[in-house]
């Protein structure tokens, strides 16, 4: 598959623009605000942001990370989200080319960026992302069964449901067991719904890989640093589930193959 650098650059730039919209979702969804209506405004002074101050990444740099009107600081989360989205879409494009699979995975990546951003800011994962995301993922698996390596649409939908059960069910069991042991909530409901949605796209094997290995590995490493240095007891788990899921999406087959050959 020959993918030209200009095509990858175009996808990256589109990802930056998409990331700008995802920033709107991250800030507005937890507050119950509309994401498609209403101009962007400064969170400090309320002034409407002109279009030339809304150019992804560049406007942040040109303004020195401050509002043009009130000079209040602008969160680094804005350009970080835009860059992350651009890089993710470029990576997925390099992996899958311009295909139906790429479009589905790009939508999943966008949902995971929003889930991670809201979890980091508000310690919640919006139902507006996960609840419609699950049936949409099953429907897309019916329409594009190659997501699960099959040609039958009904088989694709069945494997999607199995992945959803594996993703959400596993975390629910872990959360239920942890709550009984530690006498407090061990796993948020948002995490369970998030992984049910992810599982419906990735299928059983890659979802188990993300749930059992990749997300816990990243979460425990970062959590240990935060606990030792900043004395944090609770950290949002959504970003680690998202990172593990994206890693499983891109490199899951290679990781599973390596593990299988190592032991068998």
Per-residue tens of pLDDT for the chain, all 264 residues? 668 889 999 999 999 999 999 999 999 999 888 888 878 888 888 888 898 889 999 999 999 999 999 999 999 999 999 999 999 999 999 999 999 999 999 999 999 999 999 999 999 999 999 999 999 999 999 999 999 999 999 999 999 999 999 999 988 887 777 666 666 665 678 999 999 999 999 999 999 999 889 998 888 777 666 666 666 666 788 999 999 999 999 999 999 888 888 777
What's residue 217's pLDDT? 86
What's residue 173's pLDDT? 85
Domain endpoint, select from 48, 65, 96: 96
- What's the rounded Cα separation, in Å, for the pair 95 and 67? 38
Q: Are residues 155 and 172 in the same domain?
A: yes
Q: Are residues 84 and 133 in the same domain?
A: no
pTM of the model: 0.92
Domain endpoint, select from 40, 61, 96: 96
What's residue 39's pLDDT? 81
Q: Are residues 53 and 108 in the same domain?
A: no
Q: Are residues 249 and 136 in the same domain?
A: yes
Do the beta carbons of residue 236 and residue 123 sit within 8 Å?
A: yes
- What's the rounded Cα separation, in Å, for the pair 138 and 158? 8
Q: Are residues 72 and 162 in the same domain?
A: no
Q: Are residues 73 and 107 in the same domain?
A: no
Do the beta carbons of residue 47 and residue 8 sit within 8 Å?
A: no
- What's the rounded Cα separation, in Å, for the pair 171 and 187? 7
Q: Are residues 24 and 114 in the same domain?
A: no
Q: Are residues 38 and 104 in the same domain?
A: no
Q: Are residues 253 and 145 in the same domain?
A: yes
What's residue 219's pLDDT? 81
Q: Are residues 41 and 6 in the same domain?
A: yes
Domain endpoint, select from 54, 78, 96: 96
Do the beta carbons of residue 162 and residue 148 sit within 8 Å?
A: no
Q: Are residues 85 and 183 in the same domain?
A: no
Q: Are residues 168 and 262 in the same domain?
A: yes
Domain of residue 14, residue span:
1-96
The total number of structural domains that make up the chain: 2
What's residue 206's pLDDT? 96
Query: Which sign does the torsion angle of CA 224, 229, 232, 233 carry?
Result: positive
């Amino acid at each position: 598959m020959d993918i030209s650098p200009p095509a990858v650059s175009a996808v990256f730039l589109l990802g930056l623009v998409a990331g700008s919209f995802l920033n709107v979702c991250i800030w507005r969804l937890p507050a119950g605000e509309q994401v498609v209506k209403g101009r962007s405004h400064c969170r400090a002074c309320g002034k409407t942001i002109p279009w030339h101050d809304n150019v992804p990444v560049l406007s942040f740099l040109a303004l020195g990370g401050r509002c043009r009107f009130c000079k209040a600081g602008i969160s680094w989360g804005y350009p970080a989200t835009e860059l992350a989205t651009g890089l993710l879409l470029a990576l997925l494009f390099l992996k899958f080319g311009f295909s139906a699979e790429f479009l589905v995975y790009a939508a999943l990546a966008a949902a995971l960026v929003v889930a991670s951003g809201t979890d980091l800011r508000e310690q919640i994962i919006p139902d507006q992302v996960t609840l419609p995301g699950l049936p949409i993922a099953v429907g897309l698996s019916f329409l594009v069964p190659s997501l699960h390596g099959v040609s039958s649409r009904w088989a694709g939908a069945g494997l999607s449901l199995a992945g959803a059960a594996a993703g959400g069910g596993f975390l629910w069991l872990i959360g239920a067991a942890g709550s009984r042991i530690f006498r407090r909530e061990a796993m948020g409901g948002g995490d369970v719904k998030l992984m049910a949605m992810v599982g419906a796209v990735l299928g059983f094997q890659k979802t188990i890989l993300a749930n059992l290995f990749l997300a816990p590995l990243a979460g425990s490493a970062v959590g240990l640093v935060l606990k030792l240095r900043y004395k944090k007891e609770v950290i949002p788990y959504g970003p680690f589930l998202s990172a593990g899921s994206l890693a499983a999406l891109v490199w899951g087959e290679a990781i599973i193959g390596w593990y299988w050959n190592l032991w068998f």
